[in-house]
């Protein structure tokens, strides 16, 4: 049942999460933003349906790549 709750959570696809697996087989989702901002929960309750800090995994690298491509176009004109 626990895995079902995690998979319905926004955290599972967030770029800020890190999976923590214990020796006993438990799984926790660490919010890495909490390491910089103490107001955030280190291990948010699951399922987290909405989060103002959510950033889809790989979206930051996609945005960076789009910015690079736009810069190349601007310089070539």
User: Residue 22's pLDDT is what?
Assistant: 93
pLDDT in tens, 27-42: 899 999 999 999 999 9
Supply the mean pLDDT for the chain.
77
Comparing 19 with 72, the larger pLDDT belongs to: 19
* Strand 27-31 relative to strand 17-21, pairing: antiparallel
8 Å CB contact between 46 and 11: yes
Which parts of the chain are beta strand (E)?
A: 17-21, 27-31
Q: Where are the domains of the chain?
A: 2-76
Q: What share of the chain has pLDDT > 70, as a percent?
A: 66
């Amino acid at each position: 049942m626990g895995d079902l709750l995690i998979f319905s959570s926004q955290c599972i696809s967030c770029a800020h999460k890190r999976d923590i697996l214990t020796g006993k087989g438990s799984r926790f989702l660490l919010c890495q933003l909490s390491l910089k901002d103490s107001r955030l929960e280190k291990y948010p309750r699951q399922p987290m349906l909405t989060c103002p800090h959510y950033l889809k995994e790989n979206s930051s690298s996609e945005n960076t790549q789009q910015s690079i491509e736009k810069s190349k176009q601007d310089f070539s004109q």
